[in-house]
C-alpha cells in the first residue's frame, strides 16, 4: 500500500468519527426537546408586543397537551418601554392554579417548580425587545391534569430576586399582593396526559 492510500484511509476514519459524533449530538438534542417554540413564532411575538405596546408576551409550541416526561420550551417576549435607558429584567415562572382533577397545594407547586429551568436575567437595550426561553420538563410520574402557569417579569434594578417577582394569584396564598417591581405578566396552560 502506498503512503497516500494510508493517509486517505486515516483521514476518512477521522471524518467518519466526527460525523457520527455530530449526528449523535443532534439526535440527543432532538430527543431532549419534544416541543419547541419556532423562530417564526418568536419573531411574531416580538412584532406583536411592539405593535400592541405590551411589555410582556408569550409564544408557545403548537401543542399544549404533553405526555409525562416530555420536554418543551415556551418563549417570553420582553419589551423595554424606556427609549432612553437600558434595563435588566428577570422572569419568574410559577404554578398559579391546577385543574382537570388536580388540586392546588404548596407541595404540588414545589414539585412543578422543579420542572422549570432557571431563567437568567435579561439585559435589554433602550427601546428594544428580546425573547427568553422557558424550558419545561414534567417528571415521568407527573400527576395528570391541567397546570396554569404565570410568567411574571420584573425590573431587576428595583431589587429582590426571582422568587420575589409575582402577580396576584387566586390559588397561591403566598401571592395575595403583586410585586411592587412587577413589569408585566403572561399566562399559559399545560395539560399533562397519560
- The reported pLDDT for the residue numbered 29 is 45
Cβ partners under 8 Å of residue 58, min gap 6: 45, 74, 75, 76, 77, 151, 186, 187, 188
Per-residue confidence in pLDDT tens, the chain, 194 aa: 677 777 778 777 787 777 777 666 555 444 455 677 777 888 888 888 988 889 999 988 777 788 888 888 889 999 999 889 998 888 989 999 888 888 888 899 889 989 988 888 889 999 999 998 888 888 889 999 999 999 999 986 555 555 678 888 878 777 878 888 889 999 988 899 87
93 beta partners: 151
- The reported pLDDT for the residue numbered 11 is 74
pTM of the complete model:
0.76
- The reported pLDDT for the residue numbered 28 is 45
- The reported pLDDT for the residue numbered 128 is 92
Long-range pairs, 99-103, Cβ under 8 A, ≥24: 99/145, 99/146, 99/148, 100/144, 100/145, 100/146, 100/191, 101/144, 101/145, 102/143, 102/144, 102/145, 102/146, 102/147
Amino acid at each position: 500500500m502506498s503512503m497516500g492510500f494510508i493517509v486517505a484511509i486515516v483521514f476518512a476514519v477521522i471524518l467518519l468519527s466526527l460525523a457520527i459524533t455530530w449526528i449523535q449530538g443532534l439526535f440527543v438534542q432532538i430527543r431532549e426537546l419534544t416541543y419547541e417554540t419556532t423562530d417564526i413564532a418568536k419573531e411574531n411575538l416580538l412584532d406583536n408586543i411592539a405593535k400592541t405596546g405590551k411589555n410582556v408576551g408569550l409564544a408557545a409550541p403548537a401543542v399544549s397537551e404533553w405526555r409525562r416526561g416530555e420536554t418543551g420550551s415556551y418563549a417570553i417576549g420582553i419589551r423595554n418601554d424606556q427609549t432612553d435607558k437600558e434595563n435588566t429584567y428577570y422572569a419568574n415562572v410559577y404554578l398559579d392554579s391546577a385543574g382537570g382533577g388536580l388540586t392546588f397545594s404548596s407541595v404540588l407547586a414545589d414539585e412543578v417548580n422543579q420542572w422549570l429551568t432557571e431563567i437568567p436575567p435579561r439585559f435589554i437595550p433602550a427601546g428594544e425587545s428580546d425573547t427568553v426561553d422557558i424550558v419545561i420538563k414534567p417528571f415521568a410520574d407527573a400527576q395528570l391534569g391541567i397546570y396554569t402557569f404565570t410568567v411574571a417579569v420584573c425590573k431587576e434594578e428595583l431589587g429582590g430576586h426571582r422568587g420575589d417577582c409575582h402577580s396576584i394569584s387566586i390559588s397561591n396564598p403566598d401571592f395575595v399582593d403583586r410585586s411592587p417591581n412587577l413589569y408585566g405578566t403572561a399566562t399559559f396552560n399545560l395539560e399533562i396526559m397519560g
